[in-house]
Amino acid sequence: MIHFDLLKIGNSPKITTAEDVRADLELDKIIGIASNKDRLVAETWLEVLLLRDSSEDIMRYRQEAVKDALVNREAVQKMYLLAREAIEKARREVFIPRLDDPTLVVYETSKGIEILVDAVEKLLTILTSAKFSSKAFSELMSSLTENIDSEFISSARNIAKILAYGEGIDFSVNIGNYNCLKNPVLLVPKERNSLISKILSIGKEYTFSIDPRDEAGLQVLADIKRWVLSQIATTMLNAYNRLRNFFEDLAKQLSFYIGVINMNDFFEKIGLPKTYPEVNPRKLSFENLYCLSLAISTLSKPTPNTLDSDVDGSFAILITGANRGGKTTFLKAIGQALLLTRAGLFVPAESFIIPTPGAIYTHFLREEERRMSYGKFEDEIRRFRSIVDSLKRGDYILMDESFSSTNPVEASIVAENIVSALVDSGINVAYITFLHDFIYRFTNRYSKKTVLLVPERLKDGTRTFRLVRGFIQPGYAMELWRKISATLSYSTSPSPTV
Amino acid sequence: MEYKSILGERGRAVDEQVLYDLRISELLEDILGRERDEFLRSLYLEPLNNEEIAVFRLNVFRDLMRNEVYNAVENFVEKIRESIDYIELEKEAYEQHKLGLHLDAALSYIEAVESFYNDLKVLGIRSQGLLNFLNYLQSIVESRSFRLMKERAYEAKKARDGIKIRVKIIGNRIKVRRYDEGEDLSAIIKNLFSRFKEGEVEEVKHIRVTSEMSHIHAAILEGAFKFYRKEYEILKRFMEDFQKIVDDGVMRFAKEVKFYLTYVRYMKKVMQPEYLFTIPNFTCDGSINVKNFYNLLLLRSGRVVHNDISTDGVKRVFVITGMNSGGKTTFAISFGQLAYLSTLGLPVPATEASLPFFTSIMTAFPAREDPRESMSRLEQDITKALKILKQANSTTLVIANELFSTTTSEEGFQLARLFLSELNRKRAYCLFVTFIPGVASIDFTISLVAMPSPEDPMKPSYKILPGSPPSEYMAVRIAAKHRLLYNHLREMLR
């Protein structure tokens, strides 16, 4: 059996909140570049980016194939084109509107098999002239050359001829219930009637013809023919489906690499760095990581971010501070890079090291949740709950202003409960939040696991859109109060802390 | 040996008004489903005249409510039907097919009778009805004619199975010859393409648009028989020698036993852990003790409440009062249906059911006010009541719903007392639904009350329990809630 697997998707389903992740991390922009308006490429990329399962091995397997596809880009493009054209030609010329007309199905599938067998022959030529080195592409090549030879191609063509339109049928049959005919088996026709075989069959054959005016009789005859062909029609249809499925499979798997080629071209055009990520259970580290979707929107290199942090089982990145400082861009950059990493793709950074190839989930504030009400809060909690159901150790959850639909005091308690539980369960969290109680208590309790980031501001107040490490400053507000009071020479009793 | 009916005896036709009031027709729609057999339908409309027949039927149910027995009987009926269908088809068929149809009718029949006999023998059946039929079957199976038919049918089938021909169709010419050898084209194709992974698996269907037993088929068979002479002779002789196939008694059983099969099928559809059926037990001391009965019709639209009803037989008149829409009428109808089913000899929807065998069930439901009707509704009510009293005896069940409500409640009470006293004197049974609470305190009655829901006293629980009619009313409770009762008002206005 022909076997190849350029993607190693396995049985992985989509992550449960795939649509949220897709929207929150602006995947459509990334996919838009990869697909260059090819719908199949877009579908495949979306699928691969949002798979629930991945592993370091799968990641490496794809990385190798990605590199291979970039080296052999012409062969990949030719094979993809061939597969797509073969499918398209079959779709145009093979017309099977219904499955209850065996005669039609047999004729049409004969035609289809002929078209696709021609394409198989061409595919072999392209493959054998390329120089693939990755496991994925080598397997495709060896499996095809082992299973397809010229004998297969001529036998398949011969069958298409036997069953072509206008040929007679020859079958064996038994007598069953109510003396009806049963178990028809279509047979390979005997050689054309020679004079000798005619003489030999005298007395051994009972022949009759249906009067052309006997319309009912002719209808019965056509029906018998359909009946006999129905069994082989299923076989032919499934043979044709196997062939078509082969090309569809091939096209789908190759489409991922067509996206790779397109994305590579985009990186080169913009001048984004390209790195193949690594996994190190004790590290979360990246250098000049760019937000890909922002680069696509602006067609330029946005401000990159750098981070180097040790990881002990799991981590929490808390991001806080002034708006429009690049917080959300940072969160998206990480999320996108994580997704690209799991898919085996290169990432827009100088280097990218992550502790696990876990799945990525997002819980971003929705505009309609910005108003405070317990109803909204319950919606938010419900949405969070649906994510929790699928979280596993080593996964990542990216949160943007979660739990802002209730007052910060109780939201902090909720957030502290939830985030502590996540981190203690080995889930990695990156969370943009303004919940001060939460940030204060959490960073104190989880100082070793937490990175606090704030937008950078230069001394003169300029925003750099870069995030830097921030620090908790207890009593800072009081301090500030006092300071400003002093500056203004205004004396009050200590005001209640906020 | 003569066949004895599995139904025991037939009953008498039910009163149309009862059918309507107790919604028996709707119940029958559910029980019969798509079954349009008039004979079967009529059986469900005939209450039995005596208890023994009901018990006879219930015992058959006791056997049939065991899955093994039910499956065996159903299978048997199905095969007998098949056999009869073949014989019907024979009438129209070409000679070449007749031979086959006749043989298949015989084969189905033989298989049906033998396997059913063998199954039934070891299933430990206990009902007289099925035991009678088992004996009858034994006499058939052991008869010489049956054994001979079987032997010859098997011989004929073997001959037919040996026929294999090769047919070639080119244009409108058909060539038939004895099959010798050939290569299966389909197998070759399967093998050739198996190197590709399975794609979408689809099945091409052939929907026959012409007969399978046409003159063309007959002609092909004609060709086949030319090369298989001996086999043809065997088939032909079988048909000539065994003209009649299905025994008359077997045929009648297959028809009559559907009464049971239909109901068992219906019970299976309804039954869940909380919705059970039980075999009713007929009491001779006049007592009633029915536990967890429920309304089969309401079950169509969701969950329903279970209720009990009981009496030692001294008091026989139940007066049902209580909150509006509290399930009073449903309770009365449900019990009426249950009683009706028991008089047909059918299992009933309850977990336990002891009750008298009612020789008649009568209903008195309010008539719709009809301007063309010369009598007023009160007149009609009284007429109904009196007609009932005339016929009532100690094995009568009367279901009365809001009778005498189109007069003052004092007069209504008087009428009710009269009616019920009479029924009581005749020792008849009655379920009397009313909103006149006084009726419930008549000394020979049993008072049942529709109870409010314990969680929300504004809503019904649909539980009907023994007790006095509520002393406090819903409207009063609502007034109290808004502090508008006497003491509240006094306090506020002070």
Domain span at residue B100? 16-161+244-262
Mean pLDDT of the A397-404 span: 88
**pLDDT attached to residue A496:** 40
Selected residues 247-286 of chain A with any CB under 8 Å from a CB in chain B: 248-249
Instruction: Look at residue A29 and tell me if it is in a domain.
Output: no
Instruction: Look at residue B4 and tell me if it is in a domain.
Output: no
Instruction: Look at residue B31 and tell me if it is in a domain.
Output: yes
Which residues from B are below 8 Å from A237, CB to CB? 202, 204
Task: Based on the fold, state whether residues A287 and A244 are members of the same structural domain.
Answer: no
B154: contact with A, CB 8 A cutoff: no
Q: Predicted confidence band at B468 (pLDDT cuts at 50, 70, 90)?
A: confident
A194: number of Cβ within 10 Å: 10
Q: Predicted confidence band at A193 (pLDDT cuts at 50, 70, 90)?
A: low
Contact between B51 and B357 under an 8 Å Cβ cutoff? The reply is yes
The closest CB to that of B164, out of A172, A207, A234, belongs to A172
Q: Predicted confidence band at A437 (pLDDT cuts at 50, 70, 90)?
A: confident
Instruction: Look at residue B154 and tell me if it is in a domain.
Output: yes
Which residues from A are below 8 Å from B176, CB to CB? 205-207
Helix axes of A73-93 and A102-129: crossing angle, nearest 10 degrees: 170
Which is more confident, B402 or B311?
Answer: B311
Task: Based on the fold, state whether residues B119 and B47 are members of the same structural domain.
Answer: yes
**CA–CA distance, B357 with B287 (Å, rounded to integer):** 11
| Angle at alpha carbon of residue A427, lines to A424 and A429, rounded to 5° | 105
Selected residues 184-243 of chain A with any CB under 8 Å from a CB in chain B: 185-188, 201, 204-210, 212, 216-221, 223-227, 230-239, 241-243
B185: contact with A, CB 8 A cutoff: yes
Q: How far is A156 from chain B (nearest CA, A)?
A: 7
Domain boundary among B228, B262, B296: B262
Q: How far is B111 from chain A (nearest CA, A)?
A: 15
Task: Based on the fold, state whether residues A125 and A262 are members of the same structural domain.
Answer: yes
Instruction: Look at residue B46 and tell me if it is in a domain.
Output: yes
A7 Cβ neighbours under 8 A, 6+ residues apart? A44, A48, A62, A253, A256
Which residues from A are below 8 Å from B177, CB to CB? 201, 204-206
Which residues from A are below 8 Å from B175, CB to CB? 205-207
Mean pLDDT of the A53-57 span: 92
A246: contact with B, CB 8 A cutoff: yes
Task: Based on the fold, state whether residues B253 and B283 are members of the same structural domain.
Answer: no
Which residues from A are below 8 Å from B197, CB to CB? 1-3, 242, 245-246, 249
Residue contact B206–A152, C-beta within 8 A: no
The closest CB to that of B196, out of A186, A233, A246, belongs to A246
Residue B434 has pLDDT above 70, yes or no: yes
What count of CB pairs under 8 Å joins A to B?
Answer: 216
Which residues from B are below 8 Å from A108, CB to CB? none
Mean pLDDT, chain B, as a whole number?
89
Residue A199 has pLDDT above 70, yes or no: no
Within B143-222, strands assigned E span: 164-170, 173-178
Task: Based on the fold, state whether residues B343 and B440 are members of the same structural domain.
Answer: yes
Q: How far is B143 from chain A (nearest CA, A)?
A: 27
Task: Based on the fold, state whether residues B438 and B305 are members of the same structural domain.
Answer: yes
**pLDDT attached to residue B475:** 40
Nearest residue in chain B measured CA to CA from A217:
B216
A35: number of Cβ within 10 Å: 22
Question: Which tokens hold the place of A117?
Answer: 């067998």
Percent of chain B with pLDDT over 90: 68
Task: Based on the fold, state whether residues A266 and A336 are members of the same structural domain.
Answer: no
Q: How far is B116 from chain A (nearest CA, A)?
A: 22
Domain span at residue A84? 54-166+239-270
A453 Cβ neighbours under 8 A, 6+ residues apart? A307, A317, A318, A319, A320, A327, A330, A467, A468, A469, A470
**pLDDT attached to residue A471:** 74
For A374-426, the DSSP string reads HHHHHHHHHHHHHHHTT--TT-EEEEESTTTTS-HHHHHHHHHHHHHHHHHTT
Mean pLDDT of the B458-472 span: 81
Residue B371 has pLDDT above 70, yes or no: no
Q: How far is B204 from chain A (nearest CA, A)?
A: 5
Going by the DSSP 8-state scheme, the letter that residue A281 receives in this structure is T
Helix axes of B144-161 and B95-122: crossing angle, nearest 10 degrees: 130
Task: Based on the fold, state whether residues A356 and A244 are members of the same structural domain.
Answer: no
Predicted confidence (pLDDT) per residue in B25-55, tens digit: 999 999 998 888 899 999 999 999 999 999 9
Contact between A293 and A25 under an 8 Å Cβ cutoff? The reply is yes
Which residues from B are below 8 Å from A176, CB to CB? 160
Selected residues 101-160 of chain A with any CB under 8 Å from a CB in chain B: 102, 105, 147-148, 152, 155-156, 159
Instruction: For residue B362, give the CATH number of its domain.
Output: 3.40.50.300
Residue A479 has pLDDT above 60, yes or no: no
Task: Based on the fold, state whether residues B339 and B470 are members of the same structural domain.
Answer: yes
Q: Quick one: which of B175, B77, B150, B239 has its CA closest to A179?
A: B239
Q: Classify A164 as helix, strand or coil.
A: coil
Contact between A378 and A83 under an 8 Å Cβ cutoff? The reply is no
Residue contact A152–B194, C-beta within 8 A: no
Task: Based on the fold, state whether residues B22 and B84 are members of the same structural domain.
Answer: yes
**pLDDT attached to residue A198:** 66
**CA–CA distance, A326 with A290 (Å, rounded to integer):** 12
Mean pLDDT, chain A, as a whole number?
87
H or E stretch at A174:
strand A169-175
Predicted confidence (pLDDT) per residue in A221-263, tens digit: 999 999 999 888 999 999 999 999 999 999 999 999 999 999 9
Task: Based on the fold, state whether residues B370 and B305 are members of the same structural domain.
Answer: yes
Contact between A352 and A278 under an 8 Å Cβ cutoff? The reply is yes
Q: What's the pTM?
A: 0.62
Instruction: For residue A378, give the CATH number of its domain.
Output: 3.40.50.300
Residue contact A178–B168, C-beta within 8 A: no
Which residues from A are below 8 Å from B86, CB to CB? 178
Q: What region, left, alpha or beta, does residue A354 occupy, with left being phi > 0 and alpha being psi -120 to 50 degrees?
A: beta
Q: Quick one: which of B167, B262, B172 has its CA closest to B224?
A: B167
ipTM over 0.90: no
Which residues from B are below 8 Å from A234, CB to CB? 202-204
Amino acid at A169: I
B265 pairs with which residues across the strands?
none
Instruction: Look at residue B182 and tell me if it is in a domain.
Output: no
**pLDDT attached to residue A45:** 97
Task: Based on the fold, state whether residues B249 and B326 are members of the same structural domain.
Answer: no
Residue contact B160–A201, C-beta within 8 A: no
**pLDDT attached to residue A197:** 64
Residue contact A237–B204, C-beta within 8 A: yes
Contact between B162 and B231 under an 8 Å Cβ cutoff? The reply is yes
Q: How far is A19 from chain B (nearest CA, A)?
A: 28
Q: Quick one: which of B114, B192, B189 has its CA closest to B149?
A: B114
Task: Based on the fold, state whether residues B254 and B316 are members of the same structural domain.
Answer: no
Going by the DSSP 8-state scheme, the letter that residue B439 receives in this structure is G
Mean pLDDT of the B342-353 span: 97
Instruction: Look at residue B206 and tell me if it is in a domain.
Output: no
Q: Classify B32 as helix, strand or coil.
A: helix
Going by the DSSP 8-state scheme, the letter that residue A470 receives in this structure is -
**pLDDT attached to residue B453:** 85
Residue contact B189–A232, C-beta within 8 A: yes
H or E stretch at B282:
strand B281-282
Predicted confidence (pLDDT) per residue in B177-210, tens digit: 999 888 898 899 999 999 988 888 888 888 888 8
| Angle at alpha carbon of residue A150, lines to A148 and A151, rounded to 5° | 90
Residue A323 has pLDDT above 70, yes or no: no
Q: Classify A288 as helix, strand or coil.
A: strand
A164: contact with B, CB 8 A cutoff: no
Which residues from B are below 8 Å from A2, CB to CB? 195-197
The closest CB to that of B192, out of A152, A179, A234, belongs to A152
Residue A146 has pLDDT above 70, yes or no: yes
Number of domains in chain A: 2
Instruction: Look at residue A6 and tell me if it is in a domain.
Output: no
The closest CB to that of A178, out of B101, B175, B201, belongs to B101
**pLDDT attached to residue B492:** 42
Predicted confidence (pLDDT) per residue in A402-435, tens digit: 877 766 666 777 788 888 888 888 899 999 988 7
Task: Based on the fold, state whether residues A263 and A302 are members of the same structural domain.
Answer: no
A155-164, B112-121, B123-132, range with the lowest pLDDT: A155-164
Number of domains in chain B: 2
A104 Cβ neighbours under 8 A, 6+ residues apart? A96, A98
Q: How far is B185 from chain A (nearest CA, A)?
A: 5
B184 pairs with which residues across the strands?
A187
